[in-house]
C-alpha cells in the first residue's frame, strides 16, 4: 500500500504494547502466586491453587492461591495486630504513607496498566489513561484526608479491621476506592480481589510494602466466593465493604445481619442515558460510545438504557449505527483498540444468553458486520431497538457491550422511564437546555447524574447508589465517614430492659383511676383505630397500668406507609418552610411542658424535675433541627475536568423509625425531627414501654401545620412492626433503636430489597448528650448525596 492509499483508507495499523515487563513480574513471583499477608508472600495453608487466564488469548498466565479459612484467619490476625499502631500514627504520618502509595502507583504505572490489561482483557488505552491515573489520584486525595482527619472528623476514629471484596471490572481502581479511605481513616485491611483478576492487587500490595507501608496494614488474600465468604463471616472483622453483583450483596447483607459489622454495598445498575431532542447529537453519540462500550460495557454505572426523545430517535440511531461500524474490537494490548476482551468465558456466555433472550422477546438487534474476532473472549458492540420497558434486557444488568433503546415524548415520561428500575446508580442527561437538565437531574433516583457527559469519576466526588444499587458512598467526605465511627460509639452500654415488660391485653383498664383514654394510632394527620381492634396496656414501673395504646399491625403499617408515600410534597417544600413547622412544633410542645412531664413521670417513674428536663431537652432538639433544616447544604466539588460537581443532600423518602425506651419523648423526637427536617416522611413506632408521650404529641402535630402523612405514629410491638417496615418495598430506610434482637431482625428483613438501615445493636445512647444524640450523624442518616456533574466551556 502506498501513502496515498493509506490516507484514503485511514485504517489503523496495529500498535501493540509489550507485555514483557508484566510477564517478567509474574515469572519472578510465580508460576504460583501466593497471598500477600503481614508484609510478605505466604503460601496458601489450604494448599489449593487456581489458574489465572488471559481472556484475550485463553492462555494461563499463572496459578493463584485459593485462600481457605486458615489463610483468612492469618490475614485478619495480621491486620488486627497492625491496627493499633497504624491508628495511633498521627494523621500526618498516615498522610505520608498514602502520598507514598500515590507516588508508587505513578512509578509503576505502565507495569500496572499492562498487568491489568492482560489479566482483565481491557484495552491498554483505558488502563493506561483512565484506570491507573484515577488510582493515583485516589491515593493523593486520601493522603489529604489523612492529613486533615483530626480537624475535619473530630471525635471520630477508625472502625478497626476492614474486609474488602472487590469485582473484576476495575480491579486496581476498586482496590484504590476501598483501600485509600480505609487506610486514611486508620483502619487496616484484608482485601480479596475477584478470582479473574488478582494480579494488580498482589503487585500493589508488594509495591506498597516496598514503599514503606507497615506489615499487616494491607493484606491481600486471593480466592473465589468461598474465600470472600470466610472474610464476611469472620468474627474479628469490623466492617465489610463490597462491590459486585446485587445477588452476592444480598447474601452478604443476610450473613452480616445482627453481627454488628458495618456494611457498605456498591452493586449493579441499569443506568439510563437520556437524550432530549435539542441535544448535540454528535456529542451524544460519543457519549453513548463512552457510556456502554467503555470497558466492554462491564461497568456498574454503564449507560445501558438509551432513552431518546421520539422526534430524534431515528436520526440518533442512524448516527449511532454508523459510529458502531467504526469501533475496533480486538487485542487489548493494541493501543488502537476501542473494545477489548470480555473478562472470562462465563461472562461471555451470560452476555450471549441475555442477547438471545432479547431477540426472542422481539427486540431488533444491530451488530456491525465482522466487528469482533471470531476466536477468544470477544463480543461485538450491540444495539437493541424496539425494546419494551418490561422486557428482560431492559431490566436486567447485562454487564457487556449491549445497549437497549426506548423512546419517550415528554420530560416527565423520560423521568418515569429512567426511574422504572430496581437499581439507582447513575444517569446521563443530554440537552443543550441547562434549565431542563437541572430540572430533570434531581428527579432521577440515582446517586450520580452526568449532564452532557458520562462515566466521569473523581476521588473528591462521592460515588454510590440508591435502592438495589446498594448503600454507602466511595470518595469524598461522605466516603470517609464510611470508615469512621464516633469514638464514644465503642463504649455505649447495653440497653436496659424496661422495668415492666410491656404486655398486650384485651382486658380494659378503664376502671383504674389514672386512665383517661386509649390513644389511637396517628396516620395521615388523623387519629386512626388499629386494624386489629386490640389495645395494649402501658404500665408504670410499679406495675400500675397508666394507659392503653392501639395494637398496630402489618395493615396499619401499610396504611401509614401509603399516606407517607403520598405526602411527597414535604420533600419538595422549601427548607425555610420545614424550619418554620419545626419551630412551631417546639413552641407548642413548650407550652405543654408540665402536661408532657407528668405523662413521662407516670410511665417511667422519673421525678418531676427529671421529666421536665426531658421535655425541655425535646423542645431544644426541635429547635436544633429547625435550625438545621435550611443549613445542611451540599457542596460544590471542583473535579479536575471542566466540570462542577454539585453534591446535593437529598431526602431518602419514607423512613421507618423504631424509637428507644431510654428517653421516650426525647428519643422519639431526636430521631423524627432530623428525618423531617431533611424532607423525609416518617412512620414512627414509639417506645413500647412508654408510648404515651408520643401519642400525646398528636395534639402538638395537629396545631403545628405539619402536613398530614409526614409524621405517622403506629404503636405496638416494636420488633414486629419494625420488621414489617424493613420488608416494605416503599420504605427507603429503617432506623432501629430497641434491643439487639430487633436490630438483627431489621437487618435481616432488609435483605430482600437492600434497604438502608441504621441500628443501635442493642446499645443505649445518652439522648441528653448532644454529642451522641444530635447533629451531623443524624443528618447524614437522613439524607443521601447525589452528585450532579455539570460541564462548562465550549
Greatest extent of the chain over all pairs of C-alpha atoms, in Å? 107
Taking CB under 6 A as the criterion, the residue among 62, 104, 267, 700 binding ligand NAI is: 267
Q: How many CA atoms lie within 13 A of 687 on its CB side?
A: 30
Residues in region 369-408 near ligand NAI by CB under 6 A = 397, 399
DSSP string, 436-486: HHHHHGGGS-SSEEEES--S---TTS-B--SGGGEE--BSHHHHHHTTEEE
Distance of CA 344 to the CA centre of its chain: 27
- Other CB atoms within a 10 A radius of the CB of residue 14 amount to 11
Minimum CB distance to ligand NAI smaller for 421 or for 715: 421
Report which secondary-structure segment, H or E, holds 384: strand 382-385
Query: d(Cα 490, Cα 493) in Å, to the nearest integer?
Result: 9
Total number of residues that touch ligand NAI (CB under 6 A): 26
> Do the bridges between strand 756-759 and strand 733-736 make them parallel or antiparallel, or are there none, so unpaired?
parallel
Task: Give min distance, CB of 465 to ligand NAI, in A.
Answer: 9
Minimum CB distance to ligand NAI smaller for 471 or for 570: 471
Piece of 246-254, 609-617, 755-763, 779-787 that binds ligand NAI (CB under 6 A): 246-254
Q: Which residues are catalytic?
A: 266
Please check whether residue 767 is in contact with residue 630, taking contact to mean a CB–CB distance below 8 angstroms. no
Please check whether residue 463 is in contact with residue 455, taking contact to mean a CB–CB distance below 8 angstroms. no
Task: Give min distance, CB of 424 to ligand NAI, in A.
Answer: 12
Query: d(Cα 694, Cα 692) in Å, to the nearest integer?
Result: 5
3-state SS, residue 218: strand
Query: d(Cα 612, Cα 697) in Å, to the nearest integer?
Result: 15
* Helix ranges, 267-382 (H): 281-293, 310-325, 345-360
Minimum CB distance to ligand NAI smaller for 350 or for 610: 350
Taking CB under 6 A as the criterion, the residue among 169, 385, 455, 761 binding ligand NAI is: 169
Residues in region 73-132 near ligand NAI by CB under 6 A = none
Residues in region 301-360 near ligand NAI by CB under 6 A = 347, 350
Piece of 38-46, 166-174, 384-392, 563-571 that binds ligand NAI (CB under 6 A): 166-174
Task: Give min distance, CB of 178 to ligand NAI, in A.
Answer: 12
Minimum CB distance to ligand NAI smaller for 303 or for 667: 303
**Residue 233 contacts ligand NAI per CB under 6 A:** no
CA–CA–CA angle 344, 345, 351 (5° rounding): 95
Minimum CB distance to ligand NAI smaller for 267 or for 417: 267
Exposed, middle or buried: residue 445 (CB in 10 Å: 0-12, 13-18, 19+)?
Answer: buried
**Residue 248 contacts ligand NAI per CB under 6 A:** yes
- Cis check: omega of the bond before 31, within 30 degrees of 0: yes
Phi, psi of 792 (to 5 degrees): -140, 170
Query: d(Cα 387, Cα 385) in Å, to the nearest integer?
Result: 5
Piece of 120-128, 161-169, 492-500, 613-621 that binds ligand NAI (CB under 6 A): 161-169
Task: Give min distance, CB of 774 to ligand NAI, in A.
Answer: 35
**Residue 167 contacts ligand NAI per CB under 6 A:** yes
Minimum CB distance to ligand NAI smaller for 704 or for 751: 751
Piece of 89-97, 191-199, 214-222, 625-633 that binds ligand NAI (CB under 6 A): 191-199
Residues in region 192-231 near ligand NAI by CB under 6 A = 192, 194-195, 224-225, 228-229
Distance of CA 248 to the CA centre of its chain: 14
- Other CB atoms within a 10 A radius of the CB of residue 555 amount to 12
**Residue 243 contacts ligand NAI per CB under 6 A:** yes
Task: Give min distance, CB of 469 to ligand NAI, in A.
Answer: 8
Minimum CB distance to ligand NAI smaller for 268 or for 411: 268
Task: Give min distance, CB of 643 to ligand NAI, in A.
Answer: 23
Minimum CB distance to ligand NAI smaller for 299 or for 626: 299
Taking CB under 6 A as the criterion, the residue among 75, 232, 291, 714 binding ligand NAI is: 232
Q: How many residues does the chain have?
A: 794
Binding residues for ligand NAI, rule: CB under 6 A, are 165-169, 192, 194-195, 224-225, 228-229, 232, 243-245, 248, 251-252, 267-268, 300, 347, 350, 397, 399
Amino acid at each position: 500500500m502506498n501513502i496515498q492509499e493509506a490516507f484514503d483508507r485511514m485504517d489503523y495499523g496495529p500498535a501493540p504494547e509489550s507485555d514483557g515487563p508484566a510477564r517478567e513480574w509474574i515469572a519472578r513471583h510465580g508460576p504460583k502466586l501466593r497471598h500477600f499477608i503481614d508484609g510478605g508472600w505466604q503460601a496458601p495453608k489450604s494448599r489449593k491453587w487456581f489458574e489465572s487466564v488471559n481472556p484475550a488469548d485463553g492462555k494461563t498466565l499463572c496459578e493463584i492461591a485459593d485462600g481457605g479459612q486458615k489463610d483468612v484467619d492469618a490475614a485478619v490476625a495480621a491486620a488486627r495486630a497492625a491496627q493499633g499502631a497504624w491508628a495511633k500514627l498521627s494523621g500526618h504520618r498516615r498522610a505520608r504513607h498514602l502520598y507514598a502509595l500515590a507516588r508508587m502507583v505513578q512509578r509503576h504505572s505502565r507495569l500496572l496498566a499492562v498487568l491489568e490489561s492482560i489479566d482483565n482483557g481491557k484495552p491498554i488505552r483505558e488502563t493506561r489513561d483512565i484506570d491507573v491515573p484515577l488510582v493515583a489520584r485516589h491515593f493523593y486525595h486520601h493522603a489529604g484526608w489523612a492529613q486533615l482527619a483530626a480537624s475535619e472528623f473530630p471525635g471520630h476514629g477508625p472502625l478497626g479491621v476492614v474486609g474488602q471484596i472487590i469485582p473484576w471490572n476495575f480491579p486496581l481502581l476498586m482496590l484504590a476506592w476501598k483501600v485509600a479511605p480505609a487506610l486514611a481513616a486508620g483502619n487496616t485491611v484484608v482485601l480479596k480481589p475477584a478470582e479473574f483478576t488478582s494480579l494488580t492487587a498482589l503487585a500493589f500490595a508488594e509495591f506498597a510494602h516496598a514503599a514503606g507501608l507497615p506489615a499487616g496494614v494491607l493484606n491481600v488474600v486471593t480466592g473465589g466466593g468461598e474465600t470472600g465468604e470466610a472474610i464476611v463471616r469472620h468474627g474479628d472483622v469490623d466492617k465489610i465493604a463490597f462491590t459486585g453483583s446485587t445477588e452476592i450483596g444480598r447474601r452478604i447483607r443476610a450473613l452480616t445481619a445482627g453481627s454488628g459489622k458495618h456494611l457498605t454495598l456498591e452493586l449493579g445498575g441499569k443506568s439510563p442515558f437520556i437524550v432530549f431532542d435539542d441535544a448535540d447529537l454528535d456529542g451524544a453519540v460519543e457519549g453513548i460510545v463512552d457510556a456502554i462500550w467503555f470497558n466492554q460495557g462491564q461497568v456498574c454505572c454503564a449507560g445501558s438504557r438509551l432513552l431518546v426523545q421520539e422526534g430524534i430517535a431515528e436520526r440518533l440511531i442512524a448516527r449511532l449505527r454508523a459510529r458502531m461500524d467504526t469501533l475496533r474490537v480486538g487485542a487489548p494490548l493494541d493501543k488502537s483498540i476501542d473494545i477489548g476482551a470480555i473478562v472470562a468465558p462465563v461472562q461471555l456466555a451470560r452476555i450471549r444468553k441475555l442477547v438471545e433472550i432479547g431477540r426472542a422477546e422481539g427486540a431488533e438487534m444491530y451488530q456491525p458486520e465482522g466487528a469482533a474476532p471470531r476466536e477468544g473472549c470477544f463480543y461485538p458492540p450491540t444495539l437493541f431497538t424496539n425494546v419494551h420497558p418490561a422486557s428482560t434486557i431492559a431490566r436486567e444488568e447485562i454487564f457487556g457491550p449491549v445497549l437497549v433503546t426506548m423512546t419517550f415524548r415528554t420530560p416527565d415520561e423520560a423521568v418515569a422511564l429512567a426511574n422504572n428500575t430496581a437499581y439507582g446508580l447513575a444517569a446521563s442527561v443530554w440537552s443543550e437546555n441547562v434549565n431542563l437538565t437541572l430540572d430533570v437531574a434531581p428527579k432521577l433516583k440515582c446517586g450520580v447524574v452526568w449532564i452532557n457527559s458520562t462515566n466521569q469519576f473523581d476521588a473528591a466526588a462521592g460515588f454510590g447508589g440508591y435502592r438495589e444499587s446498594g448503600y454507602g458512598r466511595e470518595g469524598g467526605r461522605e466516603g470517609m465517614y464510611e470508615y469512621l465511627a464516633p469514638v464514644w460509639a465503642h463504649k455505649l452500654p447495653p440497653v436496659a430492659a424496661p422495668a415492666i415488660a410491656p404486655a398486650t391485653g384485651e382486658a380494659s383498664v378503664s376502671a383504674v383511676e389514672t386512665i383517661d383514654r386509649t390513644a389511637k394510632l396517628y396516620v395521615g394527620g388523623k387519629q386512626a383505630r388499629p386494624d386489629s381492634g386490640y389495645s395494649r396496656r402501658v404500665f408504670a414501673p410499679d406495675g400500675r397500668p397508666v394507659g392503653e395504646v392501639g395494637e398496630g399491625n402489618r395493615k396499619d403499617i401499610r396504611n401509614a406507609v401509603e399516606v407517607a408515600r403520598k405526602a411527597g410534597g414535604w420533600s419538595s417544600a422549601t427548607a425555610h418552610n420545614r424550619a418554620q413547622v419545626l419551630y412551631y412544633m417546639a413552641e407548642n410542645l413548650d407550652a405543654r411542658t408540665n402536661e408532657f412531664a407528668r405523662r413521662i413521670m407516670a410511665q417511667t417513674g422519673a421525678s418531676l424535675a427529671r421529666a421536665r428536663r426531658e421535655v425541655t431537652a425535646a423542645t431544644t432538639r426541635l429547635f436544633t433541627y429547625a435550625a438545621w433544616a435550611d443549613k445542611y447544604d451540599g457542596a460544590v466539588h471542583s473535579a479536575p475536568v471542566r466540570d462542577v460537581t454539585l453534591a446535593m443532600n437529598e431526602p431518602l423518602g419514607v423512613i421507618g423509625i423504631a424509637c428507644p425506651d431510654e428517653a421516650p419523648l426525647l428519643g422519639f423526637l431526636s430521631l423524627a425531627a432530623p428525618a423531617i427536617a431533611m424532607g423525609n416522611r416518617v412512620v414512627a413506632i414509639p417506645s413500647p414501654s412508654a408510648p404515651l408521650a408520643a401519642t400525646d404529641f398528636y395534639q402538638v402535630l395537629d396545631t403545628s401545620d405539619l402536613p398530614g402523612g409526614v409524621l405517622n405514629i403506629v404503636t405496638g410491638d416494636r420488633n414486629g412492626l419494625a420488621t414489617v417496615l424493613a420488608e416494605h418495598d416503599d420504605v427507603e430506610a429503617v432506623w432501629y433503636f430497641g434491643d439487639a434482637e430487633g436490630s438483627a431482625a431489621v437487618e435481616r428483613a432488609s435483605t430482600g430489597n437492600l434497604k438502608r438501615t441504621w441500628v443501635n445493636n442493642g446499645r443505649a445512647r445518652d439522648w441528653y448528650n448532644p454529642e451522641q444524640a444530635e447533629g451531623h450523624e443524624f443528618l447524614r442518616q437522613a439524607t443521601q448525596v447525589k452528585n450532579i456533574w455539570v460541564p462548562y466551556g465550549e
